[in-house]
Amino acid sequence: MSDTKKQNFLQGTALLAMATAIVKIIGAIYKIPLNAIIGKQGFSYYSTAYEIYNVLLMISTAGLPVAMSRMISQANSLGHSNRIRRIYKTSRAIFLTLGIAGSLLMTLFCRQLAEFQNQPDAWAAIGALGPCCLLICIMSTFRGFFQGQSNMLPTSVSQVLEAVVKLVVGMLAALLLLKSTGSVSLAAGGAILGVTISCMASSVYLFGKFRKAYGALEPSSEAAESYSDTAKRLMAIAVPITIGSAGLQILTMLETKIYMGQLLGLGFTQLEADSMKGIYNMSQTIYNMPCAFITPITISIIPAITSHLTLLDHKAAKATEESAARVTGLICMPCAFGLATLAGPVTALLGGYTGADLTLSTSLMTIMGYNIMFNAVVLLTNAMMQAHGHAVVPVVNMFIAGIMRLVVVYMLTGNPNIGIVGTPIGAMLCFLCIAVLNVFSMRRVMKDPPAIVKNLVKPFAAAAIMGIFVRGALYLLQMLGITSRLILCGLPVAVGVVVYVIAAVLFKAITREDCLLLPKGAKIAKLLHL
């Protein structure tokens, strides 16, 4: 398949998912030894920089790529190439403005931002990450253009390129700065420098692909709307999504300030609080690995649904939505039960924790594991409502649940018997609340909403059975006195994969039609006896 050939929803999803798998493997290779190099304290600084960066990133890029994708998909379905060009140029101007503002804020006010987060030594990491705001905005412009045409290949390749460069440059910079200065703070900044360089490399690649694709657009006869009208349409879609996404990141940043303050109030030293935050952030890194596999679905589904709705094919739109729900369930449910069940061995293997640190990371990871299910439903339903033009609804739901989250975190983390473990509890309750509100909202605002819950029941049942077998396998290995972290993770995972595939096929959690939409789908369907 050529770069320019339009991929259907599941083909685009599969392509992005493969890229995501590679990126996450590289990320694990990067972050696990990085945690060992700069320690819990340094990893805490690294994560704090990302928390601030993510707020600015969401403000700059959350809504605009989605708006670009939707509008370009509509124009592409109608053959309006002049409109595609106008959408791109308008988006580029907005992206550059936001990117420059975000970069200057992080770079010039890095020390003030670090103080605000109760982590003054995180300033180097924050400052080093500043240029990425502009670079990500540039990349998002190109990615939004390609995704609107349902071409996921450039996005996939650029993500892998970004991950490889970050691994090489970031690791070398962290090692060199730690060896030359002895400063954990500067070493964390060096690790972040790898992120900046990787964004530069990815931007160069995407620009090369974009020039070719943009130049291949055939002139069309439709009258191009004005830049101001295009900007208004873009912002009408982007602003609600941006508010929602940025709101979540702002809540996360406020949450950090709250629980760090509560930990210090309980009598922990700054070093102890930083170390606990580092363990929590490492657990979040592991948690984000399976969650990231939902993103390809949400990226692919929006232009696919938009294209169907533009052509008034509501039946096809609903079929795409329910297929997305099944695929989401098949991915997130086993990840949720598997990670929650193997929380101890996984954090011991990937985080290198022992003793009290391992006990804490296990408690955190168990809660986070089950939260994968709720997070997946939130991401999926958000994307569906955005595609249908109801972007404001999930924003309202998010703010309702977000306020509850901050209250719960404040109450629980101030309890000496709970402490930082109260933070993932607050997050799980928040995502559960948003998921429930979103499902009910879809029934209210959509004429013929997809059966989300129905399509998740079978994957849930298959995953629950898998979890029982995984728990049994882990218990048996422990009874036999096996202490190898790799074996305690690997063998139960192997058992889980076999049990889950068998259970999913028996429950018919995936249909033959779903398989046929995947690369080599006929062979997959035959293998699964569908």
CA distances from 393 to 89, 244, 440, 444 (A): 29, 10, 11, 10
* pLDDT band per the 50, 70, 90 thresholds, residue 46: confident
> Does residue 2 belong to any structural domain of this protein?
no
**Best CA proximity match to 379, nearest among 342, 334, 434, 425:** 434
Residues 6+ apart with CB under 8 A from 48: 114, 117, 119, 122, 125, 126, 256, 277
pLDDT at 7 over 50: no
User: Which of the pair, 474 or 275, is modelled with greater confidence?
Assistant: 474
CA distance 194 to 349: 24
pLDDT at 2 over 50: no
- 56-65, 168-177, 423-432, 479-488: least confidently modelled range: 56-65
Q: What is the mean pLDDT of the chain?
A: 82
CA distance 252 to 254: 5
DSSP conformational letter for 121: G
pLDDT at 108 over 80: yes
CA distance 31 to 234: 36
| Cβ atoms 291, 17 nearer than 8 A | no
> Does residue 257 belong to any structural domain of this protein?
yes
Residue type at position 290:
P
pLDDT at 238 over 60: yes
* pLDDT band per the 50, 70, 90 thresholds, residue 21: low
Report the predicted TM-score, pTM, of the whole model to 2 decimal places.
0.69
DSSP conformational letter for 448: S
- DSSP letters spanning 329-378: HHHHHHHHHHHHHTHHHHHHHHH---HHHHHHHHHHHHHHHHHHHHHHHH
- 48-62, 173-187, 269-283, 337-351: least confidently modelled range: 48-62
With b for 16 or more beta-carbon neighbours within 10 A and e for fewer, the 27-63 pattern comes to beebbbebbebbbbbbbbbbbbbbbbbbbbbbbbbbb
pLDDT in tens, 145-197: 887 777 778 888 888 888 888 888 888 888 888 888 877 777 877 777 888 88
> Does residue 224 belong to any structural domain of this protein?
no
For residues 275-282, average pLDDT: 86
> Does residue 82 belong to any structural domain of this protein?
yes
pLDDT at 516 over 80: no
- 183-192, 272-281, 297-306: least confidently modelled range: 297-306
pLDDT at 50 over 50: yes
CA distances from 300 to 334, 442, 528 (A): 22, 19, 25
pLDDT in tens, 342-395: 999 998 887 778 888 899 999 999 999 999 999 999 988 988 888 887 878 888
Q: What is the pLDDT of residue 513?
A: 65
Q: What is the pLDDT of residue 430?
A: 92
- 24-38, 159-173, 178-192, 442-456: least confidently modelled range: 24-38
- 376-380, 386-390, 448-452, 456-460: least confidently modelled range: 386-390
> Does residue 513 belong to any structural domain of this protein?
yes
- 59-63, 285-289, 503-507: least confidently modelled range: 59-63
CA distance 510 to 488: 30
**Best CA proximity match to 152, nearest among 323, 301, 292, 317:** 301
> Does residue 52 belong to any structural domain of this protein?
yes
Q: What is the pLDDT of residue 437?
A: 95
- Cα Dmax for the chain: 74
- 60-69, 308-317, 353-362: least confidently modelled range: 60-69
> Does residue 47 belong to any structural domain of this protein?
yes
Q: What is the pLDDT of residue 6?
A: 39
| Cβ atoms 30, 167 nearer than 8 A | yes
Report the number of distinct structural domains present in the chain.
1
**What is the number of other CB atoms lying within 10 angstroms of the CB of residue 175?**
17
User: Which of the pair, 515 or 48, is modelled with greater confidence?
Assistant: 48
Angle in degrees, 0-180, between the axes of helices 355-387 and 227-265, rounded to the nearest 10? 160
Q: What is the pLDDT of residue 425?
A: 95
DSSP conformational letter for 118: T
User: Which of the pair, 452 or 246, is modelled with greater confidence?
Assistant: 452
Q: What is the pLDDT of residue 467?
A: 94
* pLDDT band per the 50, 70, 90 thresholds, residue 335: very high
CA distance 360 to 351: 12
Domain hosting 471: range is 9-217+229-527
- 13-22, 207-216, 303-312: least confidently modelled range: 13-22
pLDDT in tens, 392-408: 888 889 888 988 999 99
- Left if phi > 0, otherwise alpha if psi is -120 to 50, otherwise beta: which for 481? left
CA distances from 94 to 56, 99, 230 (A): 14, 9, 11
Q: What is the pLDDT of residue 249?
A: 72
pLDDT at 11 over 70: no
CA distance 162 to 9: 24
CA distance 57 to 14: 26
CA distance 409 to 415: 10
> Does residue 485 belong to any structural domain of this protein?
yes
Residue at token pair 């006010």: 109
